[in-house]
Chain A
Amino acid sequence: MMFSPEIVMAAVLNGVMTGSVYALIALGLTLVYGVLHIINFAHGAMLTAAMFAVFVGHAVFRIDPYAMIAVVAPLFFALGYALQRWVIGPAAHGSESNVLLVTLGLSIMIENALLAGFRSDTRSIDVPYAFSSLDLGFTFLSVPRLVAFGVSIAVAFLLWLLLARTDAGKAIRAVAKEPTGAELVGIRVEHVFAVTFGLGAACVAVAACLLMPTFYVSPRIGNAFVLVAFTIVVLGGMGSIPGAVLGALFVGVVESLSGLFFNESLAQLGVFLIFILVLLLRPRGLFGAKA
């Protein structure tokens, strides 16, 4: 099957836009892995919870989803901080399998509490700009997706600035490299762990605000996104931030291009198959960093 360059070009552009939101979700996951060396299995459930928060904010208080960033990002930062500081950290007793089981327990609780509260229906919000687009000559670019792209890149850049240029970032990097050494020079490791976890949660909260104008939410939606995010993080190398961004853009483009060739119902299956293949064939990541 052949497609004109315009169509392929449009699919690539769309893929980059989608990939940028994936990047935000994957950034949260890889940041937590890079610093705490744990896989947060509740990442997807947190995304779902944030999407419902945006939904409720719009349905009940008529707050614009983009304006909700100012509400849910700090809220989820605080929630993430509290979860790591007072639930996951103490409950896990420092063992990897415990962390996995505790975060699994949390994700079961969050998902099913949402199911109990909202039932399994899919919900979306109506915003006037959902279908507005820019004419590029050869294709139309959806405005909400363009906003998502811009905000994602901005957040990734801010995160990089925070890590590279501030004292807090220096402390986070120190803890990531050598927790015991960091503790010895007076860094409060538990606090840094919790701040990192909070940043990860804030990333999914922003992603939720960017997704809601064009996407829908249901209690189990987080699973699909989180497996995409895991795929990206494994591709990019666990703990690597540039790896996560590049991996996300790559996956976004691949997904968008394969949408041209395969039918829609296979997309869901594709996410899981690609994840399995990536894990089985290349557990160390395409961009170097060791898993």
Chain B
Amino acid sequence: MRQERLSLVLSVGLLAGLAVVPLVTAANTVLNFLVFAMILALAAHGWNLLAGYAGQFSFGHAAFFGVGAYGGALLQMRAGINPWVAFLGGIMLAGIVGAVIGALSFRADLRGSYFSLVTLAFAEVLRILVNATPATGGAAGLLIPLDVRFANFQFASRAAFYWIALALVALVTLLMLVIENTRFGAYLTAIRENEDAARALGVDVFAEKIKAMTLSAAITGAAGGLYAQYFLYLDANIGFGPWISIEALVAPIIGGLGTAAGPLVGALALQMLGEMSKTVAGRIPGIDLVLFGLLLVLVIAFMRRGVVGQLQRLAMARGGA
């Protein structure tokens, strides 16, 4: 089976299965778990577009998660904009920040490790600035006023919020499957495999990388916006902290780098691992991240193409064409 077909089948199966969960159980722990997995999957999709498809490994996607989260929250709290519109505004702001960081970095021709390092530094700069600025709530953080109404993007039922998050993940998965079959997707693959060769063949490398970065940042920004609406609280370490840069990167690598199903598969796996570590180790800080780091090393060493790649190999071994 081709990777795209496998990703399609896997995504449809998973999403359909996930969609019926609230009909089976209304347990808060289950729904919390799933909402968080969807937020992570969305952030991971954004990272995967840039790294998995275009070969640019960002270590600072927290920048876009944070801009999406803070952008949405501040637009509704300080500018009085409707939360749904503010959510979209946050996504657009994240896209703009992505375009600016991309333009600066790619203009300086930062590749490979240099790009990773500079994105990390940008995320840290934003974290420190947000933490020090009174307008963004400073170190105390930002509390979005509780006012449960559909018009406010706040719901009494967790299931409703979960379905919206799930729908967004489905939409982005579809977008990735479409991109794989467009000229844009082919350009990104060409850039990933050999940037100089792609340029020689007439691909406008700079423009395509900026497009990928903008879209990637917007998708991860949407994850941040969802986080803000669900938890109604933000601080600089939640929005811009290294944790989300790490998780948005580890999830697609576990699931399958550069595949449309990878981010969702990886996000569910990470989330499960995180919960299990909490059950076993209790409230010791950092244990879950130790496991994520270990998993990252193991997957790179032994399973370079992640779960999706492994499934594909199994399917091929069984004789699928």
Interface residues of A, Cβ cutoff 8 Å to B: 39, 41, 87, 90-93, 96-98, 100-102, 104-109, 111-116, 119-120, 219, 223, 227, 230, 265, 268-269, 272-273, 275-276, 279-281, 283, 291
Nearest CB in chain B: distance from A156 CB, A: 24
- Give the top 5 A-B pairs by smallest Cβ distance, nearest first: A108-B293, A112-B286, A115-B286, A91-B301, A105-B296
- B114 adjacent to A108 (CB under 8 Å): no
- A87 adjacent to B108 (CB under 8 Å): no
Interface residues of B, Cβ cutoff 8 Å to A: 55, 57, 59, 104-105, 107-110, 112-114, 116-118, 121-122, 124-125, 128-129, 132, 246, 249, 253, 281, 284-287, 289-290, 292-297, 300-301, 304
Q: With A96-B113, A108-B246, A116-B285 as given contacts, are A272 and B128 in contact (CB-CB < 8 Å)?
A: yes
- B293 adjacent to A106 (CB under 8 Å): yes
Nearest CB in chain B: distance from A29 CB, A: 11
Which of B125, B281, B290 contacts A273, CB < 8 Å? Answer: B125
- A116 adjacent to B114 (CB under 8 Å): no
Residues of A within 8 A of B108 (CB): 279-281, 283
Nearest CB in chain A: distance from B74 CB, A: 21
- Name the residue among A114, A227, A276, A283 with the largest chain B CB count within 10 angstroms: A276
Residues of A within 8 A of B57 (CB): 97, 100-101
- Report how far A92 CA is from B104 CA in the complex, Å: 29
Residues of B within 8 A of A108 (CB): 246, 289-290, 292-293, 296
Q: Chain B residue with minimal CB distance to A88? A: B297
- B112 adjacent to A112 (CB under 8 Å): no
Q: Chain A residue with minimal CB distance to B101? A: A276
- B285 adjacent to A115 (CB under 8 Å): yes
- Report how far A266 CA is from B120 CA in the complex, Å: 18
Nearest CB in chain A: distance from B212 CB, A: 16
- Name the residue among A92, A104, A279, A280 with the largest chain B CB count within 10 angstroms: A104
- Report how far A196 CA is from B104 CA in the complex, Å: 34
- Report how far A92 CA is from B125 CA in the complex, Å: 30
28 of the cross-chain contacts (CB-CB < 8 Å) are A87-B297, A91-B300, A91-B301, A98-B304, A100-B57, A101-B300, A102-B300, A104-B246, A105-B293, A105-B295, A105-B300, A106-B297, A108-B296, A111-B286, A112-B285, A112-B290, A115-B285, A116-B290, A120-B285, A219-B286, A230-B117, A265-B132, A269-B125, A272-B128, A275-B121, A279-B121, A280-B108, A283-B109
- Report how far A114 CA is from B125 CA in the complex, Å: 24
- Name the residue among B59, B113, B114, B296 with the largest chain A CB count within 10 angstroms: B113
Q: Chain A residue with minimal CB distance to B302? A: A91
Q: Chain B residue with minimal CB distance to A100? A: B113
- Report how far A119 CA is from B124 CA in the complex, Å: 21
- Report how far A115 CA is from B114 CA in the complex, Å: 27
- B110 adjacent to A101 (CB under 8 Å): no
Residues of A within 8 A of B300 (CB): 91-92, 98, 101-102, 105
- B289 adjacent to A112 (CB under 8 Å): yes
Nearest CB in chain A: distance from B117 CB, A: 6
- Report how far A98 CA is from B105 CA in the complex, Å: 21
- B253 adjacent to A112 (CB under 8 Å): no
- A276 adjacent to B122 (CB under 8 Å): yes
Residues of A within 8 A of B59 (CB): 104
- A39 adjacent to B296 (CB under 8 Å): no
- Report how far A91 CA is from B253 CA in the complex, Å: 14
Nearest CB in chain A: distance from B182 CB, A: 24
Nearest CB in chain B: distance from A79 CB, A: 15
- B125 adjacent to A276 (CB under 8 Å): yes
Residues of A within 8 A of B289 (CB): 108, 111-112, 115
Q: Chain A residue with minimal CB distance to B56? A: A97
- A91 adjacent to B129 (CB under 8 Å): no
- Report how far A101 CA is from B290 CA in the complex, Å: 14
Nearest CB in chain A: distance from B48 CB, A: 14
Residues of A within 8 A of B297 (CB): 87, 91, 102, 105-106, 109
- Name the residue among A102, A108, A111, A219 with the largest chain B CB count within 10 angstroms: A108
Residues of A within 8 A of B112 (CB): 96-97, 100
- A116 adjacent to B122 (CB under 8 Å): no
Residues of A within 8 A of B296 (CB): 101-102, 104-105, 108
Q: Chain A residue with minimal CB distance to B292? A: A108
